[in-house]
Amino acid sequence: MTTVAAYAAPAAKAPLERTTIERRPVGATDVRIDITFAGICHSDIHQAEEGWGESIFPMVPGHEIAGVVAEVGSGVTRYRVGDRVGVGCFVDSCRACEYCDQGLEQYCVEGMTVTYNGLDRRGEPTHGGYSTGIVVDERYVLRIPDSLPLDAAAPLLCAGITSYSPLRRAEVGPGSKVAVLGLGGLGHMGVKLAHAMGAEVTVLSQSLRKRDDGLRMGADHYYATSDPATFENLAGTFDVILSTVSVALDFDRYLALLKPGGVLANVGAPDDPVSLNLFSLMTGGRSLVGSMIGGIPETQEMLDFCAEHGIGAEIEVIRAEEVNEAWKRVVASDVRYRFVIDTATI
Ligand code: NAP
Ligand code: ZN
């Protein structure tokens, strides 16, 4: 066992505080990682506040993990001590079902083992990246390309892949008109990635406050959803809308912005259900699809794509003791565009 420093929520809605946790001994196919940076995802907050249902406490959140390999098990073949690596939203799965076989471990029939707020295959609670070290089977570890700084790469492990996967599935490329709804952690990655894929990109944000940033990141157009004219002017415009909004929305209003045959890909995970008028889908043969993170092969593909296109997250690196304040700012949509904890400060 290795003892590592961590930040944990002791109970639902309680502020995070410094603690220590034990990591399992390094098994034959395990990699022990010295974590250097951990991104703050809005999902950390939903779970610590039990917005999605009952959670496991104490909770060490964090599924945007970047660091360096410190030790490898005797059977590890893919990684060596010193390699730059990442860990995302899951650390295990059944490894035998048709989805695991296809590299869609996030849809494992037995359920993926989530990086934190879950139980591992032995029934022990999992703890995430707001800590100084983690032990993960090499099958669930990603390689961070040398050209990507570790701090800006950490958010790619969730925000990056969650935006990348539905854009790929919708076959976004040159000629595609893509709208990204919500310019936060996921949304800003969606803008950068869709732009790099060659699409014409529009940001739909609550206000024009972040317009200059959005255009600098690669958006071609930027509109405020607080302005009713946005909905009149953009009716029937987009092939794909990527919704990254963390609260329940009136999806009918947004489906009307799709072209016939268009797809609204939702990745936002609000605490509350949404209601829908099915005529919004039938009219124009439009689709509403969901997407959850991405499998290991596609996550590696996304990291390599980001390296090739020079894409990292826009980050604000914080000290661990600033985490509670940072969470408040995420909830207030006051993040530009991802907080990343420098884990050396834990
Ligand atoms: P975030 O940084 O807080 O971004 C969410 C954005 O939603 C905000 O920046 C804001 O954009 C917009 N928004 C917030 N409140 C709003 C409101 N009342 N009305 C309209 N828009 C609002 O969060 P994130 O980390 O990107 O995560 C976004 C959501 O995706 C969360 O629910 C998270 O749990 C979920 N998620 C899902 C997956 C998955 O696999 N599907 C993975 C990771 C995260 P503007 O300020 O531009 O309006
Ligand atoms: Zn996340």
Q: What is the pLDDT of residues 171-187, one digit of tens each?
A: 999 999 999 999 999 99
CA of 273 to the centre of ligand 1 (A): 15
Could you say which ligand is closest to the alpha carbon of residue 115?
A: 2
**Residue 325: predicted pLDDT:** 98
> pLDDT digit string (tens) for 296-341?
999 999 999 999 999 999 999 999 999 999 999 999 999 999 999 9
Ligand closest to CA 313:
1
Ligand that comes closest to the CA of residue 185: 1
Instruction: Tell me the pLDDT band of 126, cut-offs 50, 70 and 90.
Output: very high
Cα 161 to averaged position of ligand 2 atoms, centre (Å): 9
| Arithmetic mean of pLDDT, 227-249 | 97
pLDDT (0 to 100) of residue 128: 98
Mean pLDDT of 85-114: 98
SS3 at position 39: strand
Quick check: 307 and 156 in contact, CB under 8 A? Answer: no
Token pair of 96 as six digits: 């035998």
Q: Are 139 and 149 in contact (CB under 8 A)?
A: no
DSSP letter assigned to residue 344 = G
Band of residue 258 on the pLDDT scale cut at 50, 70, 90:
very high
| Alpha-carbon gap, residue 170 to 276, rounded angstroms | 22
Single pTM value for the model: 0.97
Mean pLDDT value across residues 55-80: 98
CA 185 – ligand 1 centroid, Å? 7
Instruction: State how far Cα 241 lies from the chain centre.
Output: 17
Alpha helices in the chain (DSSP H): 42-48, 98-101, 150-153, 159-169, 185-196, 211-217, 228-233, 251-255, 279-282, 296-309, 323-331
- Residue reference for tokens 């360096």: 68
**In a mutational test of the pocket of ligand 1, which residue from 115, 246, 291, 327 has the highest number of ligand atoms less than 8 Å from its CB?**
246
Nearest CA to ligand 1 atom 44: 43
Tokens of 142: 């990603």
- pLDDT score recorded for residue 272: 93
SS3 track for 103-128: CCHHHCCCCCEECCCCECCCCCECCC
60 in Cβ contact with 131 (< 8 Å): yes
Mutate to test the pocket of ligand 1, among 52, 227, 245, 327 (most ligand atoms within 8 A of CB): 245
| Residue 93 tokens, joined | 């799965």
- Mean pLDDT of the 161-167 span: 98
Mean residue pLDDT across the chain: 98
Q: Which pLDDT score, from 0 to 100, does residue 61 have?
A: 98
Q: What per-residue confidence (pLDDT) applies to 237?
A: 98
- Measure 229 CA to ligand 2 centroid, in angstroms: 32
Name the CA radius of gyration of the chain, rounded: 20
**Predicted pLDDT of residue 45:** 98
Give the side-chain half-sphere CA count within 13 A for 179: 29
**Which atom of ligand 1 approaches the CA of 40 most closely?**
25
What angle in degrees, to the nearest 10, is found between the helix axes of 185-196 and 296-309? Answer: 70
Read off the pLDDT of each residue in 136-149 and give the average, rounded to a whole number: 98
Give the pLDDT of residue 151. Answer: 98
Report the pLDDT value the prediction gives residue 200, as an integer from 0 to 100: 98
**pLDDT recorded at residue 2:** 93
Q: Which ligand is nearest to the CA of 339?
A: 1
Q: What residues have CB less than 8 Å from 327, skipping those under 6 apart?
A: 16, 40, 44, 45, 48
Helix (H) or strand (E) holding 250: none
Band the pLDDT of 241: cuts 50, 70, 90: very high
Residues flanking ligand 1, CB < 6 Å: 41-43, 46, 158-159, 162, 182-187, 205-206, 244-247, 267-270, 291-293, 330, 333, 335
Write out pLDDT tens, residues 15-63: 999 999 999 999 999 999 999 999 999 999 999 999 999 999 999 999 9
